[in-house]
Amino acid sequence: MKFFRNLLFGVLAIGCVGSSLSAENWPHWRGPHFDGSASEQKLPADFSKTNHVRWVATLPGPAAATPIIWGDHVFVSSTDLRTKTLHALALDRRTGKELWNQEVASGFNLDNKSNLASPSPVTDGQMVYFLYGTGDLVAFDFAGKQVWAHNLQKDYGQFAYQWTYGASPTLFDGKLFIQVLQRNVPVHGRGQKDGPNDSYLLALAPKTGTEIWKHIRPSEAHEESHEAYSTPIPFEHAGRREMLVIGGDCITGHSLKDGEELWRWGSWNPTRITHWRLVPSPVTGGDVVLACAPKGSPVFAIKAGSQGALDDSGLAWTIPEREVSSDVGTPLFYQGRFYVLNGDKKNLARIDPATGKADWIGDLGTRVKLESSPTGADGKIFFQNFRGEVFVVAAAPEFKLLHVAAMGDDGDEDLRATVAVAQGSLFIRTGSKLYCVGQ
């Protein structure tokens, strides 16, 4: 695992033109290591709307998508509140100036909790890939020229979700991975009525968008518990590389070559409760794979390197205590510890990956719900609540809340975008703005 991370860091650092040796890109929703962490240094902890702000860019509409950064480009997926359309944007990282803005599709939302621009883009330093809840998947070069486009619903069937599709694409092993974990029957008039509504993991060729393979992923879940809004996460252990997929009452590891299922575990819903949709993505660290069961349920650690159908002997540990849980936010692995943000209890827990014991559970002192995912860099943890209050917590043996910055504006609510860290700066997305914050 250490070799894999070092190799990935080296590849990403090559693209940091004109940057310091410690600067990294943020090419994926969960960052350069797929675990929410970055190696950036000298990030401010006492910022505000007027302090340590390098620039502010106005965005055409709200979205939960995290900004993606590569070199001097910042890529943002967005709605347009005025025209009710979906857009792909590129900004200059140094100034915030808009480089290009491409309209991708018509549409805004399907429910009152989210919109169709929830998936975050992903880049390999040559092209950038945008995915939307409409199923529109588009590849652009860095100049904003469209290279190819597909619509997943046209190619593979209409989505069957009670809410709105929200998984982000993942680039790894020379493939573009997309997961669709949906109901097996139509819901609210959405889904195929004349054929099976299969859940699947898809691998595409990044340069052309052509299918490399499609793996059907079965599930014993019932009704809404089939649905997941998580993102596929790559993992390497003992020389074996795989793609992790969570949802449908289970977590699975898949071969990168053909999508074949290598292992499966899932017993957090033994009675098959019908409304346990799953949102957090998997996260790995300390030779375990972390899975967060939904709606206040426990956190589970599966032993790395598993094979076949697992019973609970495949678990390294479980945290049954309801204080340590995450219904929406994906946990962070940083400096040898997991950080689990409980958005309902409004606390953050620091967890030892070897034992599952909490070093501390810190009260954040807010009444506002949190559904963003924590980011770790420069010895600090960053995340925001629904109203755009950004919390800065020390990544230390004892809980310490360093700062709370009110970055949201009047009317901001349901903000979920994760704080991105790259090239010596924080990138904070609110309802209508993107802040670049740095020393």
Domain ranges, ordered by start, for the chain? 2-437
Does CATH number 2.130.10.10 belong to domain 2-437?
yes
Structure confidence at residue 321 (pLDDT): 81
Whole-angstrom Cα distance, residue 319 to residue 329? 17
- Residues facing residue 53 across a β-bridge: 437
Sheet holding 288-292, edge to edge: 283-285, 288-292, 299-303, 315-319
**DSSP 8-state code for residue 314:** G
Structure confidence at residue 240 (pLDDT): 97
Whole-angstrom Cα distance, residue 90 to residue 29? 16
pTM (2 decimals)? 0.94
Which pair of structure tokens corresponds to residue 27?
Answer: 């090419």
Whole-angstrom Cα distance, residue 34 to residue 38? 10
- Residues facing residue 91 across a β-bridge: 74, 98
What single-letter amino acid sits at 128? V
Query: Considering only CA atoms, which of 128, 314, 270, 119 is closest in space to residue 206?
Result: 128
Structure confidence at residue 23 (pLDDT): 81
Which pair of structure tokens corresponds to residue 331?
Answer: 């946990």
What sign results for the dihedral spanned by CA atoms 61, 63, 66, 68?
negative
| Residue 165 CA neighbour count, 13 Å, CB half | 23
What sign results for the dihedral spanned by CA atoms 266, 271, 272, 273?
negative
Q: Is 214 exposed, middle or buried (0-12, 13-18, 19+ CB in 10 A)?
A: middle
Q: What is the DSSP string of 221-244?
A: --GGGG-B----EEEEETTEEEEE
Which pair of structure tokens corresponds to residue 410?
Answer: 């009047």
- Residues facing residue 191 across a β-bridge: none
Query: Considering only CA atoms, which of 382, 37, 385, 373 is closest in space to residue 231?
Result: 373
Strands 127-131 and 332-334: unpaired
Q: What is the dihedral of CA 15, 201, 203, 39, to 10 degrees?
A: 10
Classify 153 as helix, strand or coil.
helix
What sign results for the dihedral spanned by CA atoms 147, 58, 429, 179?
negative
Which pair of structure tokens corresponds to residue 332?
Answer: 């962070």
Structure confidence at residue 22 (pLDDT): 57
With beta carbons less than 8 A apart as the criterion, state whether 115 and 105 touch: no
Q: Give per-10-residue mean pLDDT for the chain (439 aa).
A: 44 39 86 98 96 98 98 98 98 98 96 93 98 98 98 97 96 98 94 90 98 97 97 97 98 98 96 96 98 96 97 96 94 98 97 98 98 98 98 98 97 96 98 96
| Integer CA distances (angstroms), 257 to 62, 203, 227, 335, in order | 37, 9, 25, 31
Structure confidence at residue 232 (pLDDT): 98
Rg of the chain over CA atoms, in angstroms?
20
